[in-house]
Amino acid sequence: MRAFILGALLSACAAGALSARPAMAEPVQVHDGQFEADVSARNITRIAIAGEKVATVRKADDAQGPKMAVDVDAGTGDVFVEFDGDVVGRTFTAFLTTQSGKTVEAVLSPRDRDGQTVLVQLGADAAARGSRQGDVGDPDAAPPPVQGQADRHEGYPEILTALIRLMFNDAAAPGVDRQSLTEPPKPAGAFQMQAIETFCVGDLKGTVLSLRNTTKVGQPLNAKTFLVTHVLAAAVSHETVAPGQLARVYIVEGAPQ
């Protein structure tokens, strides 16, 4: 398996960006917060969002499969994507958040082709989605959780939102016990579901679920579905999951005493 060389190549790309950018592919359009694009399986692909600069990228890899490496050029706001291993025929997902707070889901299909530039054009729905997220005041564009009906003391809504944000960012924090899980996936309706990580703090336990759509049609994903007994809050990475794609669910419940 070849080693990732993205860091060194990004430096070269930044130095020669004006004279040696990858070939330009046909522009792609965002629909319902998502775009699909074919990318290179053997070279770096550059992704640029028209009129925007990407600030952060969150990716969802299959724990058992080849990996996708992504990096953001802080100056241009372009995203550079590379893969490790045999990835032709697979599909990868990433969430691109711009400096203005808009978040779009990138569904990337590696092909046996040279590297190129993919220009992404935002639709009105993506702009509206970014505006709604901005109203929440979350600089990392974490999805706002829906709250359950369990008893809560004053300040719980803020605590629950902060824990959801921590899980969304896959970040560590002082006083939070974070553990990776190795549970096998199991069927859950139209999805294969797998618990991949827990975050415990005080009397709260947060769990990150990975869901893959196993059907041939898009499937809705509603956070309210997960508000079962003892669940205090839930959030989803996106509300529609394309065939074969991964989504994440973030739930918070009272930790067992």
User: Distance (Å, rounded) from C-alpha 129 to C-alpha 141?
Assistant: 10
| Residue ranges of the chain whose pLDDT lies below 50 | 1-21, 125-140, 153-154
Q: Among 75, 99, 133, which residue terminates a domain? A: 133
The answer to whether position 141 is within a domain reads: no
Same-domain status, 174 and 245: yes
The answer to whether position 1 is within a domain reads: no
What is the pLDDT, as a whole number, of residue 207? 94
What is the pLDDT, as a whole number, of residue 255? 61
What is the pLDDT, as a whole number, of residue 141? 56
The answer to whether position 153 is within a domain reads: yes
What is the pLDDT, as a whole number, of residue 44? 93
Range of the domain at 39: 6-133
The total number of structural domains that make up the chain:
2
What is the pLDDT, as a whole number, of residue 132? 38
What is the pLDDT, as a whole number, of residue 187? 93
What is the pLDDT, as a whole number, of residue 92? 85
User: Distance (Å, rounded) from C-alpha 226 to C-alpha 249?
Assistant: 9
What is the pLDDT, as a whole number, of residue 136? 34
Q: Among 99, 133, 167, which residue terminates a domain? A: 133
The CATH number of the domain holding residue 31 is 2.60.40
